[in-house]
Amino acid sequence: GPNNMIFTSNKSPDKWGEYFGEDSSLLCALDRIFDDAMVFMIKGNSYRGSKCETVAITAGELSPLNNK
């Protein structure tokens, strides 16, 4: 149809209830969303944060400030 939605998640839809609770309005909304849906389940490594750099530093003793 003319109205398309894309949902992305790192959890499969059957696990969503664990994070959103068992609220009946949520279950009703999910039922309507998945009623005529095309679901693509992609399995593999996540690239989230793949460009993140980690830096380690070590703090030394603090020297007193020169108040001149």
Tell me the per-residue pLDDT of 25-62, one tens digit each, with 9 for 90 and over: 777 888 888 888 888 888 888 777 778 888 888 888 87
Can you give the pLDDT at residue 68? Answer: 58
Task: Sketch the domain layout of the chain as residue ranges.
Answer: 15-43
pTM above 0.85, yes or no: no
Q: How many CB atoms lie within 10 A of CB 63?
A: 6
The span from the CA of 6 to the CA of 49, in Å, is 21
pLDDT band at 1 (very low <50, low <70, confident <90, very high): low
13: closest CA among 30, 25, 35?
30
pLDDT over threshold 60, residue 63 = yes
